Structure 1
Amino acid sequence: MTSTTPAPGTGLTAPFAVARFRDGDGDGDDGGTARLGLVAGERIRALDEADLGAPDLNAFLAAPDWDRLGRLVDEGTGTGAGSGTDSPWRPLAEVTLTAPVQPRQVVQAGANYRTHVIDLVVAHAPTSDTRPEVEIREDAARMMDERAATGEPYFFIGLPAAVVGDDVPLVLPSYSEQHDWELELAVVIGREGFRITPEEAMDHVAGYTICNDITTRDRVFREDSKGIGADWYRSKNAPGFLPTGPFLVPAGFVEPHNLAITLDLNGERMQDAVTSDLLFDVPALISAASLNMPLLPGDLLLTGSPAGNGAHWGRLLRDGDVMEGSVQGLGTQRVRCIAESAGESR
């Protein structure tokens, strides 16, 4: 693959990535249709069917030829290339990025950061448990290690319709005041696979992106159906509840097992972890998720969120909040929150 200079202003350290974009800087309603683009440095160029060698992004991801896109980048960095009125390249600042993928399925892993789950066990220990906190923590750690060795990942399903870019403000539904953040590393599936072994799993990864899995806390458990369990449909999946992107970074540029993941709320660090703390790593998640249903090109597999959500801090999302979520090398998404007016309540 190519070795183009990365784009420090975007948080993207890969030589290139895929994005979807509309014309304009996002300050106005340009009403443009999102197009597929290739990002290199601080530039972007549109990608058409001839550039991809496929009719659309998901078809390309089924058998991704990243070298083909790398050659387009190399052509744009030659002497005199990438500039002038005839160049397909333009400044990234001239466009509005949106969600870089259009998945048909969204599979989400829960309770998958070791430290986070241990913290939850300690925080929710019954008052009758008189052991010192350090002993409760050590016991929880042993349980997590046993789960990682002999257990299985926990999954639930998200709706593709909730996937948006950070160009869309997060509308906080007025039916609750307990909307929360959960930043996650997301795997973008490439080649279709069913009942994939862990050893084969990475062959089915096209790339990676960032997702913020927004959750309405007081809708997780229903008072009228206490014995059924968590209601992930109502507590998640509202419009815009899966801010995604801004980039799809090819798998060859990413080491998913040791990435820093952070979320800042109005400039204050809330989540700060490393993906090495995952209970079940990317191959294990792909293998387990593919046991029930084939994973399709372009699908998203969210790997779980680390400690530091709003429920932990006792501070949920409010009108005017700005979240900045970053995963090392994958860029930064900036999501602005706005309150839903009473007249738009669902």
Structure 2
Amino acid sequence: MKLISYRKEGKAHFGAVSGDGVVELTRRFAQVPDLASFLANRLLVQEARKIVETAQADYPFSSIQLEAVIPNPGKVICVGINYVAHAEEAGRKVGEFPVIFQRFAETLLPHGEPLVRPKVSEQFDFEAELAVVIGKGGAHIDPADAMDHVAGYTCFNDASVRDWQFHTHQYGMGKTFRKTGALGPWIIPASEISDYRTLVVRGILNGEQLQEGSLSELAFDIPHLISYVSKALPWNPGDILATGTPSGIGFKRKPPIFLKPGDVFEVVITEIGTLSNGVIDEA
């Protein structure tokens, strides 16, 4: 089941992709305000799966405007240097603790909407990642219980403004430019992925594969990350955990490869799908 957030005739909805159409779930679950709240109730997700399997689409997929799958997450927690090969290309070593930084919801954009290269830099880089969507909140979560808090998975491009990232040793500024974090196109429920560690993430620029990594290669796995963050802040339904990018990023290539207007970057993850975004300059 491919769960989406979208707009139809100016109104916000959530639903599921069915073939070339969309099954609207907003009116069928009118008591639920948005997809984040919907994902918090596993019984509703199970009920929706049965509906999607039997219902006809309410309208064509081409008639909707996708939003970032969770349009306004309370937290977007990102992990740096989480693939060993990426750490090596970056000249870093994986430490005792994960490298954590944050994004803001207003940096996110959906599948199909162009990434915006900012006026202040031409060092606009790509990072293909798997993102985890939290369904069940909680604090001080034991790693053994952490996967019970996962609602599903989606694709993420943590596009980064590299020179701003390294203005200081705190590189969050390079990760918080408007319309640089692509998220989508849909969420696949965790119950439909038998083992996330078998998933493979690929980053493809203008048809050429530049990144590839298996989730089995993570230095800090998803249960560890969920548990670690939960010791500082409680997770809430709809929060996003971006798990890190594999090797092959642009600024470590010789010569470097940076995103420019007219480019198309795709994040392709097995069993999940393809997140595709063009690139434009900031107006």
Matches within 5 A, 1:8-27: 16-23=1-8
Matches within 5 A, 1:35-54: 35-48=13-26, 50-51=28-29, 54=32
SS at match of 2:47: helix
Q: Any idea what the Cα deviations from partners look like across 1:149-197, whole Å, max 9, x if unmatched?
A: xx22221111111111023211111101101011110000011110101
Matches within 5 A, 1:14-163: 16-23=1-8, 32-48=10-26, 50-51=28-29, 54-65=32-43, 66-76=45-55, 82=56, 88-102=57-71, 103-121=73-91, 144=94, 147=95, 151-163=96-108
Structure 2 gaps of 5+ residues are none
* Cα shift at 1:49: 5.2
The separation in 2 between residues aligned to 1:284 and 1:40, in whole angstroms, is: 34
Measured on the aligned residues, the alpha-carbon RMSD in Å equals 1.8
The separation in 1 between residues aligned to 2:277 and 2:125, in whole angstroms, is: 13
The separation in 1 between residues aligned to 2:62 and 2:201, in whole angstroms, is: 25
Of 196-205 and 331-340, more deviation after overlay is shown by 331-340
* Cα shift at 1:258: 1.5
1:212 paired with 2:157, answer yes
User: Quick check: 2:109–2:181 contact (8 Å CA) kept in 1?
Assistant: yes
Structure 1 gaps of 5+ residues are 1-15, 24-30, 77-81, 83-87, 125-142, 342-346
Matches within 5 A, 1:226-237: 226=168, 229-232=169-172, 234-237=173-176
The separation in 1 between residues aligned to 2:30 and 2:251, in whole angstroms, is: 43
* Cα shift at 1:53: 5.2
SS at match of 1:38: strand
> Aligned partner of 1:110: which letter?
G
* Cα shift at 1:322: 0.7
The separation in 1 between residues aligned to 2:140 and 2:30, in whole angstroms, is: 28
SS at match of 1:34: strand
Equivalent position of 2:179 in the other structure: 240
From 204, 207, 212, the counterpart of 1:264: 204
SS at match of 2:49: helix
> Aligned partner of 1:100: which letter?
V
SS at match of 1:202: helix
Equivalent position of 1:300 in the other structure: 240
> Aligned partner of 2:54: which letter?
E
> Aligned partner of 1:280: which letter?
F
**More strand per residue: 1 or 2?**
2
User: Quick check: 1:49–1:56 contact (8 Å CA) kept in 2?
Assistant: no
The separation in 2 between residues aligned to 1:217 and 1:70, in whole angstroms, is: 41
Equivalent position of 2:111 in the other structure: 166
1:181 paired with 2:126, answer yes
User: Quick check: 1:52–1:69 contact (8 Å CA) kept in 2?
Assistant: no
> Aligned partner of 1:236: which letter?
K
From 316, 324, 328, the counterpart of 2:258: 316
> Aligned partner of 2:87: which letter?
V
Across the two proteins, how many residue pairs are aligned to each other? 278
SS at match of 2:226: helix
Equivalent position of 1:5 in the other structure: none
TM-score by length of 1: 0.76
* Cα shift at 1:36: 1.0
TM-score by length of 2: 0.92
> Aligned partner of 2:66: which letter?
L
